[in-house]
Each structure stands twice: as structure tokens, then as C-alpha cells.
A = this chain, B = another copy of it.
Amino acid sequence: MTFPSNFFAAVPHHLPDELFTTLLDTAQVRIERIVSHGHASPEAFWYDQDQHEWVLVLKGPARLRFEDGEIEMKPGDFVNIPAHKKHRVEWTTPDEPTIWLAVHCGEPS
């Protein structure tokens, strides 16, 4: 029998570091929950990833920064970040956890 897990379960109240939880890991795709709480990427740090990352914010506001500008994200907002497009988490609110769903996958067709 199959039982569901819950995406919003086990969100800690106190979160010294961002929390990364892998929900599915296959040869083609990795699905991850990320919980931030006032966190941002370290100063001058940029993610520069081999895989594409499709990211959906499901709770809390956040700001993502790219080399060509910054975007505000609120619950429901999603973007696809192509491989090697440099990006960083510029800001997440300290008022509540920001919860992201990230889908990492390889080269597009």
C-alpha cells in the first residue's frame, strides 16, 4: 500500500541553517524541499549549477538575485533557473519560514 507524506510536516521552529530535504532522487530528477528562515546566500556567493533548477515558493516571501537583476517571490511563484545561470538567495523573511520546492534536472530537449 502507498501512503502519502506531507510537504509541510516537520518544519522546525528554530532553524540555525537552511534545511534541505530530498523527497525524490532518480537518475533524471531530484526533488527537494528547502526551508529558509531569514537566511540568504553568503555574501558574494553565487550558485552556478550543472543542472537546471525549477523552483516554486510555497510559503513566505523571498528574493532571488541573478546577475541581471532581482526578483521578488511570494507563495505560488515559480521560475526555471537554467543550468549555469548564476543566482543567489538575496533575502528570506525572518518572520516565518520560507518553504521552497526545487526540481533539479539535466539538459533540456
Q: Residues on A close to B: CB < 8 A?
A: 1-9, 23-29, 31, 52, 54, 56, 58, 66, 68-69, 71, 73, 75-81, 85, 101, 103, 105-109
In contact, A79 and B4 (Cβ under 8 angstroms): yes
The answer for the CA separation of A54 and B106 in the assembled complex, in Å, is 17
Tell me whether A109 and B76 are in contact (CB under 8 A): no
User: In the complex the two chains form, is B2's CB within 8 Å of A56's CB?
Assistant: no
B-chain residues with CB within 8 Å of residue A5 when the two chains form the complex: 77-79
Shortest Cβ distance from residue A72 to the other chain B in the assembled complex, whole angstroms: 8
Q: How far is the CA of A6 from the CA of B58 in the complex (A)?
A: 10
Q: Give chain B residues whose Cβ lies under 8 Å from the Cβ of A8.
A: 75-76
